[in-house]
Amino acid sequence: MRPTLTLSLLAATLTFAAGAHAQLSEAATHGKATFDAKCALCHNADSTDKKIGPGLKGLYARGTLADGTTKVTDATVTERIENGKVPMPPFKDQLKPEEIKELVEYLKTL
Ligand code: HEC
């Protein structure tokens, strides 16, 4: 391998590693865009204050959903997004499975 190529690969790897903590992953960045478009009208992402639905800051750290018993896992969060819970509308016909996955990746960062 040519030295310049090796060096630029190394630099790219280091930049990526350094940015990983401060920046959202690509999936989470897409998820944030979907959140801002579809979810932010009812959910705060930066606080636990209720809007129309519960504030989602620290959702994964919180451990259980607002009902106090359902564990917060990728499966239960995905289920809630797909099927909603009155008055939250279901999103399984509006969002692709990939978009829901990206949303979950974003929610984990809150
Ligand atoms: C029309 C308003 C509305 C929209 C739009 C909406 N939600 Fe909700 N959401 C709610 C309400 C209200 C609840 C609480 C339901 C309950 O537990 O009784 C909720 C609950 C949730 C929960 C469970 C929170 C908890 O602690 O129990 C998650 C996760 C969630 N919503 C994610 C989303 C995502 C992601 C989107 C966008 C795709 C979204 N919601 C769009 C109103 C909304």
CATH fold of 26-108, please?
A: Cytochrome Bc1 Complex; Chain D, domain 2 (1.10.760)
pLDDT of residue 22: 59
Model confidence at 25: pLDDT above 90: yes
How confident is the model over 37-85, as pLDDT tens digits? 999 999 999 999 999 999 999 999 999 999 999 999 999 999 999 999 9
pTM across the whole model: 0.85
The answer, yes or no, to whether any atom of ligand 1 lies below 6 A from the CB of 61, is: no
The answer, yes or no, to whether any atom of ligand 1 lies below 6 A from the CB of 45, is: no
C-alpha–C-alpha distance, residues 84 and 10, integer Å: 45
Burial of 24 (0-12, 13-18, 19+ CB in 10 A): middle
pLDDT of residue 1: 59
- Domain map (residue ranges) of the chain: 26-108
The answer, yes or no, to whether any atom of ligand 1 lies below 6 A from the CB of 30, is: no
